Amino acid sequence: MNQPVSNAGVRPVNPGMAGLFWAVMKRDLMLAFRRRSDLLNPLIFFLMVASLFPLGISPEPTFLEQIAPGVVWVGALLATLLSMDSLFRSDFDDGTLEQTLLSPQPLFLVVLAKVLAHWAMTGLPLTLMAPLLGVMLFLPSEGMTGLMLSLLLGTPTLSLVGAIGAALTVGLRKGGVLISLLVLPLYIPVLIFGAGAVQAAVTGLPLGGYLSLLGAMLALGVALAPLAIAAALRISVSG
Amino acid sequence: MSEPLLEVKQLYCERDDRVLFDNLNFSLNAGEVLQIEGANGSGKTTLLRILSGLTGNYEGDIFWRGELRSHARESFNRSLLYFGHQPGVKAILTPLENLQWYAAMHPSIDAERIMPALEKVELRGYEDVPCHTLSAGQNRRVSLARLYLSDAPLWILDEPFTAIDKQGVSQKEQLIQHHADQGGAVILTTHHELSLGERLRRINLNQPGET
């Protein structure tokens, strides 16, 4: 008779979970450091986007001050999007992605570690660079904390959501444009609340509400996005 | 009771409106080596990808130790060593780092065994060199070093001998023989003539049916 698969018993906690997480992160960070141009790309893009606005529209401080929150956030969003495509691409090309999918380790953790490493290489530097752009765009100094905090909470969500798109399109030869179409609509709530938080900080309104919403989106992303990414990777490799 | 390790029942696969195989049945016991034969494009790689669980585009049932594989996913993955078309070697990592990562992904592997394994595939002295500076054959060897590392009973090897020199091939053949002697099972595709004696069975995808 068929014995039902039972999970009722105590499942031994794998002592290597943290080790696995760290090993995957370490590998991805190492890969990123050995390809430094990939590391600099989003940062330079971010800087360029933000510096084009004063040139293209108006260098007037009062005007720039108004658009600064939105410009910095849009720049960070586009820079993240730009870097998303490469997240699984090289793993897919050299077969390490297949090996990852066939390993007995939980894919959820592996994927989460990869996204975290990606964030540490893009979202975190973008966040650290944002005040510089804020100053460039005459963002009032009261807005700086709001800018940093909102980016710190928002960019990991951007990485997580973007990774879903990257996972879905990794099997396609030209996934670059498709990724933007898939992911951009999902980025919009993060953008609205992120830029809103900076706006609120500038005008002296409380930030709590915006930051809580960004945090909630991040929590939802951490819990659910790795599942979607793992499923998407299986589909992409299967094709 | 000797239960087959892997059993395939009525496997059917279609790709781009072309039937690759239909009603394919076979089983693989411990100690056996199964060579998949067939012309280029006959679906050898596709079959291996289906057997390893990478591709889900098939109909039919695959059993692992008598249990439906989709129910025994974790134990199956633990018991599988897959060597694919792409060797799974990161070009900008060194052989050592590549294998360390593999060991991290497979908790049963003892990291102490990485250096001896590299020695076995004659990559001692290259362990700290980025893989992109190594030759194609050496890159394959990095991946083949996993054969010395792993305790997995089931090996699925897709063209393992490509770009490997003669001496390396005979060494790998001995390794496969040894693995089968130890009670392991191997499924592989290759255009080499294997001299494995009675352990070897062949399935030809161009002439379906039992062999």
Q: Measure A137 CA to nearest chain B CA, in Å.
A: 39
* Planar angle of CA B43, B37, B50, nearest 5 degrees: 40
Q: Measure B177 CA to nearest chain A CA, in Å.
A: 24
Asked whether residue B55 falls in the same domain as residue B96, the answer is no
Asked which of B104, B130, B152 is the last residue of a domain, the reply is B152
B61: domain CATH number? 3.40.50.300
pLDDT at position B168: 87
Mean pLDDT, chain A, whole residue set: 90
Predicted confidence (pLDDT) at residue A239 exceeds the cutoff of 80: no
Give the tens place of pLDDT for each residue, B58-104: 999 999 998 998 888 889 999 999 998 888 899 999 999 999 999 98
| Higher-scoring residue by pLDDT: B190, A79 | A79
A→B contacts (Cβ < 8 Å), by residue, are 5, 14, 16, 19-20, 23-24, 27, 30-31, 34-35, 90, 93-96, 98-105, 110, 234, 237-238
Predicted confidence (pLDDT) at residue A29 exceeds the cutoff of 80: yes
Predicted confidence (pLDDT) at residue A10 exceeds the cutoff of 50: no
Out of A68-72, A95-99, B53-57, which region has the weakest mean confidence (pLDDT)? B53-57
Residue of B90, B156, B159 to mutate, testing the A interface (most A Cβ within 10 Å of its Cβ) = B90
pLDDT at position A6: 38
Domain ranges (residues) in chain A: 17-238
Q: What is the ipTM of this complex?
A: 0.89
Torsion from C-alpha of A218, A219, A220, A226, nearest 10 degrees: 90
d(CA A148, CA B29): 60
Pairing of strands B33-37, B67-68: unpaired
Asked whether residue B7 falls in the same domain as residue B63, the answer is yes
Give the tens place of pLDDT for each residue, B16-39: 888 888 888 989 999 999 999 888
Predicted confidence (pLDDT) at residue B209 exceeds the cutoff of 80: no
Predicted confidence (pLDDT) at residue A13 exceeds the cutoff of 70: no
With an 8 Å Cβ cutoff, are B100 and A23 in contact? yes
Out of A108-117, A208-217, B146-155, which region has the weakest mean confidence (pLDDT)? B146-155
Q: How many domains does chain B have?
A: 2
For residue B150, give the amino acid letter: S
Asked which of B106, B130, B152 is the last residue of a domain, the reply is B152
pLDDT at position B1: 45
With an 8 Å Cβ cutoff, are A96 and B89 in contact? yes
The mean pLDDT of A108-126, rounded to a whole number, is 95
Residue B67: closest CA among chain A residues belongs to which residue? A2
pLDDT at position B85: 85
The mean pLDDT of A163-173, rounded to a whole number, is 92
pTM metric for this prediction: 0.89
pLDDT at position A63: 92
Give the tens place of pLDDT for each residue, A37-50: 888 999 999 999 98
Pairing of strands B6-15, B59-64: antiparallel
What confidence tier does A15 reach under pLDDT thresholds 50, 70, 90?
low
Helix (H) or strand (E) holding B185: strand B185-189
With an 8 Å Cβ cutoff, are B53 and A110 in contact? no
The DSSP call for residue B48 is H
CB-CB contact of A165 with A228 (8 Å): no
pLDDT at position A8: 39
Residues of B in contact with A35 (CB under 8 A): 92
Using CB atoms, pick whichever of B90, B106, B107 lies closest to residue A96.
B90
Percent of chain B with pLDDT over 70: 97
Residue B79: closest CA among chain A residues belongs to which residue? A104
Residue A4: closest CA among chain B residues belongs to which residue? B71
Token pair in block for residue B44: 């050898």
Predicted confidence (pLDDT) at residue A14 exceeds the cutoff of 70: no
Give the tens place of pLDDT for each residue, B97-131: 999 999 989 888 888 889 999 998 889 999 899 99
Predicted confidence (pLDDT) at residue B167 exceeds the cutoff of 80: yes
Asked whether residue B112 falls in the same domain as residue B125, the answer is yes
Predicted confidence (pLDDT) at residue B45 exceeds the cutoff of 80: yes
Q: Measure A92 CA to nearest chain B CA, in Å.
A: 9
Residues of B in contact with A31 (CB under 8 A): 90, 92-93
d(CA B200, CA B197): 6
Neighbours of A208 (CB within 10 A): 10
pLDDT at position B109: 87
With an 8 Å Cβ cutoff, are B87 and A94 in contact? yes
Residue B15: closest CA among chain A residues belongs to which residue? A239
Sign of the alpha-carbon dihedral angle for A117, A122, A127, A128: positive
Percent of chain A with pLDDT over 70: 93
CA distances A73 to A173, B43, B82, B164, Å, are: 30, 49, 44, 52
Asked which of B112, B135, B152 is the last residue of a domain, the reply is B152
pLDDT at position A131: 95
Range of the domain at B170: 1-79+154-211
* Planar angle of CA B73, A112, A21, nearest 5 degrees: 80
Asked whether residue B29 falls in the same domain as residue B103, the answer is no
With an 8 Å Cβ cutoff, are B97 and A24 in contact? no
Give the tens place of pLDDT for each residue, A185-211: 999 999 999 999 999 999 999 999 999
The mean pLDDT of B166-190, rounded to a whole number, is 90
Asked whether residue B116 falls in the same domain as residue B126, the answer is yes
Locate tokens 């390790």: which residue?
Answer: B5
What confidence tier does B210 reach under pLDDT thresholds 50, 70, 90?
very low
- Sheet of strand B6-15: strand arrangement: B18-28, B6-15, B59-64, B67-68
d(CA B68, CA B82): 19
Residues of B in contact with A103 (CB under 8 A): 77, 105-106
CB-CB contact of B48 with B158 (8 Å): yes
Torsion from C-alpha of A143, A147, A149, A152, nearest 10 degrees: -170
Residue B76: closest CA among chain A residues belongs to which residue? A104
Torsion from C-alpha of B1, B6, B12, B16, nearest 10 degrees: 180
The DSSP call for residue B161 is T
Asked whether residue B167 falls in the same domain as residue B74, the answer is yes
